[in-house]
Structure 1
Amino acid sequence: MTIDQNILITGGRAPVALELARLFKAAGHRVFVAESAEYHLCRVSSAVEASFRVPSPRHQPQAYIQRLAGLTGELNINCLIPTCEEIFYIAAGLEHITGCRVLAPCREILARLHHKGDFIDWARSLGLAVPETTLIKSAAEWRRIAGIAAADGEQRVYKPAFSRFASKVILPGKDNAGTRGYKQGQTAPPPGISAAAPWVAQQYIRGTAVCTYSIVHEGSVVAHAAYDSRYRTGRSGASVYFEHLDHPAALEWVQRFAGATGFSGQIGFDFIEPEGGILYPIECNPRATSGIHLFTPEDGLTDALLNPGMLVQTGEVLIPRSGRKAMLTLPMLGCGLKPGAGGWSNWRRALRDAEDVVYRKNDPRPFREQFRVVYAAQKTAWQHRISITEALTEDIEWNGEA
Structure 2
Amino acid sequence: MITDTESAQAPQRILITGGRAPVALEWARLLHRNGHQVYVAESSRYHLCRVSEAVLASFQVPPPRQQPQAYLTALKQLIIQYQIDLLIPTCEEIFYIAEGLEGLQPYCRVLTPNIDTLHHLHHKGTFIEQVISSNLAVPITFPVEDPSIDSYDYAVPDQAGNTFVRKPVYSRFASNVIMPRESRRISAPNKQSTIPTLSTTTQIKATNTKVDSPRWIAQQYIKGKAICTYSIVHQGVVIAHATYTSDYRTSRTGASVYFEAIEHDQAYTWVCQFVQHLHVDHQQTSNSAFSGQISFDFIEEDSTGILYPIECNPRATSGIHLFQRQDQLVQAVIDPDSCVQRRQVIMPNIGTARVLTLPMWVAGFKYNRSTQDWRYWWKSLQQATDVVYQKEDRKPFGEQFRLVMQAYLTSRAQRISLTEALTYDIEWNGKENL
- TM-score, reference length from structure 1: 0.92
Counterpart code for 1:230: D
Q: 1:172 Cα deviation (Å)?
A: 2.2
Say if 2:295 is the partner of 1:268: yes
Question: Match for residue 85 of structure 2?
Answer: 78
Once the two structures are superposed, the pairs formed by residues 18-167 of structure 1 within 5 Å of their partners are 18-97=25-104, 98-137=106-145, 142-144=150-152, 146=153, 149=156, 154-167=162-175
Question: Match for residue 247 of structure 1?
Answer: 264
Say if 2:410 is the partner of 1:380: yes
Q: 1:197 Cα deviation (Å)?
A: 4.7
Secondary structure of 1:321's counterpart equals coil
Distance 1:151-1:211 versus aligned 2 partners, 3 A rule: closer
Secondary structure of 1:288's counterpart equals coil
Secondary structure of 1:326's counterpart equals strand
Secondary structure of 1:374's counterpart equals helix
2: CA distance between counterparts of 1:139 and 1:392? 25
Query: Which one is further off, 307-316 or 17-26?
Result: 307-316
1: CA distance between counterparts of 2:417 and 2:186? 22
Counterpart code for 2:129: D
Counterpart code for 1:293: H
Say if 2:365 is the partner of 1:357: no
**Contact kept in structure 2, 1:142 and 1:187, CA below 8 Å:** no
**Contact kept in structure 2, 1:170 and 1:184, CA below 8 Å:** no
1: CA distance between counterparts of 2:317 and 2:132? 23
1: CA distance between counterparts of 2:119 and 2:254? 22
Distance 1:29-1:257 versus aligned 2 partners, 3 A rule: same
Task: Report Cα offsets for 1:136-173 as digits up to 9, x if no partner.
Answer: 245698324x4695665631111100000001111121
Task: Report Cα offsets for 1:187-231 as digits up to 9, x if no partner.
Answer: 89xxxxxx8851110000000000000000111000000000210
Counterpart code for 2:236: G
2: CA distance between counterparts of 1:185 and 1:306? 54
Once the two structures are superposed, the pairs formed by residues 320-331 of structure 1 within 5 Å of their partners are 320-321=348-349, 323-331=351-359
1: CA distance between counterparts of 2:10 and 2:151? 58
Secondary structure of 1:89's counterpart equals helix
Gaps of 5+ in 1: 175-182, 189-194
1: CA distance between counterparts of 2:349 and 2:84? 30
Distance 1:44-1:271 versus aligned 2 partners, 3 A rule: same
Query: Pick from 18, 22, 41: which aligns with 1:15?
Result: 22
Counterpart code for 2:349: R
Once the two structures are superposed, the pairs formed by residues 179-328 of structure 1 within 5 Å of their partners are 183-185=183-185, 197-261=214-278, 262-275=289-302, 276-321=304-349, 323-328=351-356
Q: 1:345 Cα deviation (Å)?
A: 1.1
Counterpart code for 1:347: W
Counterpart code for 1:204: Y
Task: Report Cα offsets for 1:280-324 as digits up to 9, x if no partner.
Answer: 000000000000000001000011012111111111100002743
2: CA distance between counterparts of 1:118 and 1:149? 26
Say if 2:424 is the partner of 1:394: yes
Counterpart code for 1:82: P
Q: 1:90 Cα deviation (Å)?
A: 0.2
Distance 1:331-1:314 versus aligned 2 partners, 3 A rule: same
Q: 1:401 Cα deviation (Å)?
A: 2.7
2: CA distance between counterparts of 1:148 and 1:386? 27
**Contact kept in structure 2, 1:84 and 1:287, CA below 8 Å:** yes
Distance 1:16-1:51 versus aligned 2 partners, 3 A rule: same
- Tell me how many residue pairs correspond in the alignment: 387
Distance 1:186-1:348 versus aligned 2 partners, 3 A rule: farther
Q: 1:126 Cα deviation (Å)?
A: 1.3
**Contact kept in structure 1, 2:154 and 2:163, CA below 8 Å:** no
**Contact kept in structure 1, 2:261 and 2:322, CA below 8 Å:** yes
Distance 1:344-1:307 versus aligned 2 partners, 3 A rule: same
Counterpart code for 2:259: F
Query: Which one is further off, 153-162 or 22-31?
Result: 153-162
Q: 1:339 Cα deviation (Å)?
A: 3.2
Task: Report Cα offsets for 1:38-96 as digits up to 9, x if no partner.
Answer: 00000000000000000000000000000000100101100000000000000000111
Distance 1:139-1:72 versus aligned 2 partners, 3 A rule: same
2: CA distance between counterparts of 1:20 and 1:160? 29
Counterpart code for 2:10: I
